[in-house]
Amino acid sequence: MAKMSDAELMKQVRNLAASNSKSGVARELNMSVQTFTNRLLAAASSLGEAPPKFTRKSSAAKAVKPKRIHTDKVRSAGQAGKALRVIIPQQFFSSLDWKAGDEIRMRKSGKTKIIIEKT
């Protein structure tokens, strides 16, 4: 098969890019993705055109259910062992829509319950 000119390559790629990803177009033209990318960028720069936009087909993202129960052991924070530390998962902050710099207030409610409020 003879090598296509830059103009022919760009024309074919524009037609195929509307419905295919970059790897799909490379497969249609019987090239490896790396060779196709190199040829496309060389052709686009020699013709003074921008490379076409390819479709991005991604699998539908599954909705991740947040974990309702989180268990952790209380650990000492330093060598002296006076301060205690526990991990709070990041999804708690995102579900409450808390950002860095927000002021919070902690108070005890009963013997074992702690209430943390955004002020």
Q: What is the DSSP string of 40-97?
A: HHHHHHHHT-PPPPPP---PPPPPPPPPS------EESSSS--SEE----HHHHHHTT
Whether residue 30 is contained in a domain is answered as: yes
User: Which tokens in the block code for residue 26?
Assistant: 């490379």
With cut-offs at 50, 70 and 90, classify the pLDDT of residue 112. Answer: confident
Whether residue 110 is contained in a domain is answered as: yes
Boundary residue ending a domain (30, 47, 64) = 47
pTM attached to this predicted model: 0.45
Residues 6+ apart with CB under 8 A from 14: 52
Is residue 91 a contact partner of residue 68, using CB atoms and an 8 Å limit? no
> What 3-state DSSP class applies to 28?
helix
Percent of the chain with pLDDT over 90: 7
User: Which tokens in the block code for residue 75?
Assistant: 């650990």
Whether residue 66 is contained in a domain is answered as: no
Whether residue 103 is contained in a domain is answered as: yes
Domain carrying residue 92: 87-118
pLDDT tens digit string along 63-111? 766 666 767 777 777 776 677 777 777 888 888 888 888 888 888 888 8
pLDDT tens digit string along 11-27? 888 888 888 888 888 88
Give the count of domains, the chain: 2
Burial class (CB in 10 A: 0-12, 13-18, 19+), 26: buried
